[in-house]
A and B are shown apart, each in its own frame.
Chain A
Amino acid sequence: MFTIIIAIILPFLAAVLIPFFYKRLSRLHIGWFVLAVPVTMFIILARLLPAIARGDTFLKTINWIPSYDINLSLYLDGLSMIFGLLITGVGSLVILYSIYYLSARESLHHFYIYLLLFMGAMLGVVLSDNILVLYVFWELTSISSFLLIAFWFHRKGSRYGAQKSLLITVSGGVAMLAGFIMVYLMTDTYSIREIASSMSHYMNDPLFLPAMLLVLLGAFTKSAQFPFHIWLPDAMEAPTPVSAYLHSATMVKAGIYLVARLTPVFGGDQVWFWAVSGVGIFTLFWGSFTAVRQVDLKALLAYSTISQLGLIMSLFGIGSVALHFGYGPQSIIYTQATFAALFHLVNHSTFKGALFMVVGIIDHEVGTRDIRRLGGLMALMPITFTIAVIGSFSMAGLPPFNGFLSKELFFTAVLNVKQLDVFSLETWGLMFPIIAWTASVLTFVYCMIIVFQTFFGRYQPEKLEHKGHEAPWGMLISPIILAVFVIGIFFFPNILGSSLLKPAMASIFPGFAEPGELTPHIAAWHGFNPELLMTMGVVVVGGLLYKFLRYWKPVYWLFPTEWRLNALYDFTLGQAERRSSAITKFYMTGYLRDYALYIYIFFFLAVGGGLFLTGAFSFDMSGNAPIRVYEWILVLVMMTAGIAILFVKSRLTATLLNGVLGYSIAIFFVLFRAPDLALTQLVVETVTTALFLLCFHFLPEWKKEEFRPRSKLVNVFISITTGTIVTLIALSVQSNKLFETISIYFQNAYELAGGKNIVNAILGDFRAFDTMLEVVVLFIAGIGVFTLIKLKSGREEQDIEGK
């Protein structure tokens, strides 16, 4: 089991080492070194295959944050095994292909670092048993995918596509994280196995439904389900090996994996069924419908991927019904849908990977992917053509290719839905076979477009950048291997079924007694039944539709461009930007007065309002000291001086009035028996007034304040309110004496500090730390003043620049 840890660390380790090798091995294509990584991992996983097929599972935990129960728990069972083999197997083929696809002039080390990062992250997603660790790897796939899509970062389209995919998948990922945390709150564990075994107790928990929907949001965004599919076609700006690997075989199946993995957790619930299969079946239809209109081969394949992912998703939804019934002969037929999903998952990875590689070859050899410019390439590229036929016909669901088998199983599953009488399927169940069949017809149509409009018809060399010729063998090896699998799985489906899919069924339906019973025997020929008739119908109607494509294609123009989801996405993003900048512009005015107003208004609401609401205002004047005459006079003088400042015309008078206030306070200090304070206040006030006067020498005379009457009114209102609130708070505080002062202690100044002046003892002894820092403040202010006056380099530099 230790080997699995190596398998998951290996890609990250290799990614770190690549830059070193890239510098040293400048002559050898770095891809050859990278190729060893997925091959090793594939071998490691494949060696565990017999044990998995026997029904064993492996669990290995490495402590990460044990105190929070977050540990790197690697769990390998049938379901993880399928994905593990796909990731490493298709990964190896894609790297082999990329060695020939990317020239040495590209920044290859970046490419392979991102790719290995992705590979490790993807393995982490499928092997993690801890949902939070799964989330970490999940986001790592989003980030590495973002880097890969924008590999040619000098293109605008690449950057747009990368940004879009990151925004959508990360939004979903964050929703998923919220869902995971809710699951944790319900079940008190992060382990998927433990969650699955205990979730049945929490079906009625208020968090059950939100958790499910949020997790599904993550799965749908990642797996490009409607309406979050829009990032996938734009991600086609990535190099073709990336599209083949990430956007057909692995990353887009992370959401599928999550749905499959969490089927034992949420499955059997009505909302889960409708969300998964409903969204899936609509995505299937929408993807195939939109694929037909595409003129770019990669975009066509992107929409076909969306459509096929919808197919797999809907099958998982239908299969989850079996959990509603529990184990029994009645539910066995619904588990077949899950089996079909797993089977098609493998099949799709084989033929879609091959098709992407074929498109890459065409792009590489003739310089375009536009089907309007392509045609007649069959004679020039016979091998590519053969692979394209195998892949497309498999996707269309024709024998003798594996797509036929999975499509038959799919039809069986949707036909079985009709017989269900739960979840109001008795009314809506018929919808499934109808949509499925229509989508299959459209799938057939676009598969024919791929084959016939690319390889048949008129060869137009004048529209192509290069004269077409067959690709180098190195580029053909990977698609050939995938094509061999496409045919091989058709002839020997049960090897795959019993070795890989059976243990995976056991992990999706853990409570079901015997996984052998859940695994049907797949036969290419299964007699004349409705499924076969449906396939025949697909071929006949699809053939006719393809034949008369140009007569009905205008139907696509009925759908206005402004209504497309892409337009909605761009509109939303643009509006979000414009609105937020408008809001910021509205309140960030740049005027100091406005910001001061915000602060004051907040102060009213938070302090004044808060105290008012809690009823904290209370007034008790009984403890007041008596007022003497000269205090009355002093108060009147200060009030007059203070208010007069507002009305004086000259700044000199204002400053002098400020001085009056300062000296009055000094007198107050005298009256209140604070000799040190009075002394300091007198000196400081004198110096301050002198400073003000000094400044005036360099400043212009006051102009009259030009405020609009309304602003002036606001100022008056704000000022009076502030003053009132401060007064009220001060009065309320004075009315609530809580405990006696601690100053009695400082009266021991002579015994403790050896000083008779208590205030000075406090400043210099009891609380000398304050005094030290106060000195530092004064010191800093002094340095600040000095620097402000002496250093004027900024202006001189500007002058130099000006010249």
Chain B
Amino acid sequence: METLITVLIGVLVTVATYLILSRNLIRVILGTSLLSHAVHLLLMTMGGLKNGNAPLLGEKGDIYVDALPQALILTAIVISFAVTAFFLVLVYRSYQESRTEDLDVIRGLDDE
């Protein structure tokens, strides 16, 4: 199970990396979004995917899945959402100002 998910994470990272290396700003952001998916999955997997109850006390049985990675992922999801939202608006503004989303066109000047 863990191995399978890990391979899936590898595929997602590969795709994300390829998108980040592209010239289009939206693709880059899509890449970072994919990367955060991969990271969340990774966090989950590293915590172990053993069977057990959902971490709600009062469930029957006394074996629960690890609750700590879940708390970490919850934090990470919210933060990556905030960053993605900000990035998207940034791209929007950048396009408004420079009329392009091609990274090769909006690169820095030679003298800088």
Contact = CB atoms under 8 A, between A and B. Distances in A.
Interface of A: 585, 589-593, 596-597, 600, 621, 623-627, 631-632, 635, 638-639, 642-643, 645-646, 651, 654-655, 658, 661-662, 665, 668-669, 672-677, 680-681, 684, 687-688, 691-692, 694-696, 698-700, 702-703, 705-707, 715-716, 718-720, 722-724, 726-727, 730-731, 733-734, 741-743, 746-747, 749-750, 756-759, 762-763, 767, 770-771, 774, 777-778, 780-782, 784-785, 788-789, 795
A642 B101 contact: no
Given A646-B18, A756-B57, A758-B56, A672 B74 contact: no
Given A673-B65, A676-B70, A759-B67, 6 more contacts: A646-B19, A672-B49, A676-B74, A691-B88, A719-B15, A743-B66
A552 to B, nearest CB: 53
A529 B2 CA distance: 99
A409 B29 CA distance: 82
A674 B65 contact: yes
B85 A688 contact: yes
Contacts of A654: 27, 30
Given A698-B95, A750-B57, A774-B79, A723 B21 contact: no
Nearest to B95: A699
Given A596-B20, A672-B49, A677 B77 contact: yes
A591 B107 contact: yes
Given A675-B54, A688-B81, A698-B96, A591 B104 contact: yes
B54 A730 contact: no
B83 A625 contact: no
Contacts of A747: 57, 64, 67
A642 B93 contact: no
B99 to A, nearest CB: 9
B86 A723 contact: no
Contacts, number: 266
A682 to B, nearest CB: 11
B93 A789 contact: yes
B26 A702 contact: yes
A395 B74 CA distance: 86
A743 B71 CA distance: 11
B33 A788 contact: no
7 contacts: A643-B15, A715-B22, A723-B17, A724-B10, A726-B38, A756-B58, A781-B86
A741 B10 contact: no
Contacts of A597: 21
B36 to A, nearest CB: 10
A674 B23 contact: no
A723 B95 contact: no
B3 A756 contact: no
Contacts of B78: 680, 684, 774, 777-778
A675 B65 CA distance: 12
B44 A674 contact: yes
A707 B27 CA distance: 14
Contacts of B8: 635, 638-639
Contacts of B65: 672-674
A95 B67 CA distance: 80
A758 B4 CA distance: 28
A672 B53 CA distance: 9
Contact of B22 (A695, A705, A720): A705
A726 B10 contact: yes
A742 to B, nearest CB: 7
Given A707-B23, A743-B68, A774-B75, A668 B44 contact: yes
B42 to A, nearest CB: 6
Contacts of B5: 635, 668
Contact of A590 (B28, B102, B110): B110
Interface string B36-76: 01101110111111111111111000001111101101110
A714 to B, nearest CB: 8
A771 B85 CA distance: 19
Contact of B15 (A592, A593, A645): A645
A626 B1 contact: yes
A715 B24 CA distance: 14
Given A635-B4, A642-B34, A777-B78, A673 B55 contact: yes
A674 B66 CA distance: 10
Nearest to A795: B97
B15 A655 contact: no
B107 A691 contact: no
Contacts of A623: 2
B56 A757 contact: yes
Contacts of A715: 18, 21-22
Nearest to A634: B8
Contacts of A757: 55-57
A696 B104 CA distance: 20
A720 B73 CA distance: 25
A668 B43 CA distance: 13
Contacts of A742: 68
Nearest to A632: B4
A713 B47 CA distance: 35
Contacts of A624: 1-3
A724 B47 CA distance: 20
A662 B37 CA distance: 7
B4 A631 contact: yes
B82 A778 contact: yes
A681 B80 CA distance: 11
B39 to A, nearest CB: 10
Contacts of B41: 665, 668
Nearest to A734: B2
Contacts of B33: 658, 688
B20 to A, nearest CB: 6
Nearest to B104: A591
A647 to B, nearest CB: 10
A196 to B, nearest CB: 54
B93 to A, nearest CB: 5
Q: Closest 3 interchain pairs by CB? A: A723-B14, A727-B10, A781-B82
A698 B23 CA distance: 18
Nearest to B97: A795
A593 B20 CA distance: 8
Contacts of B50: 625
A580 to B, nearest CB: 15
Contacts of A778: 78-79, 81-82
A667 to B, nearest CB: 12
Contact of B46 (A706, A734, A743, A774): A734
A788 B4 CA distance: 42
Contacts of A780: 82
B74 A592 contact: no
A722 B38 CA distance: 13
Nearest to A706: B23
A727 B75 contact: no
Instruction: Output the residue of B2, B91, B103 with the most chain A CB within 10 A.
Output: B2
A642 B15 contact: yes
A695 B66 CA distance: 38
B32 to A, nearest CB: 11
Nearest to B112: A590
A399 B3 CA distance: 98
Contacts of B1: 624-627, 631
Contact of A741 (B12, B49, B68): B68
Instruction: Output the residue of B42, B46, B73, B97 with the most chain A CB within 10 A.
Output: B73
B77 A593 contact: no
A658 B109 CA distance: 34
A500 to B, nearest CB: 60
Contact of A759 (B11, B53, B55, B101): B55
A759 B53 CA distance: 13
A785 B48 CA distance: 37
Given A627-B1, A651-B26, A681 B77 contact: yes
Nearest to B76: A774
Contacts of A694: 88
A643 B13 contact: no
B9 A699 contact: no
A491 to B, nearest CB: 68
A799 to B, nearest CB: 12
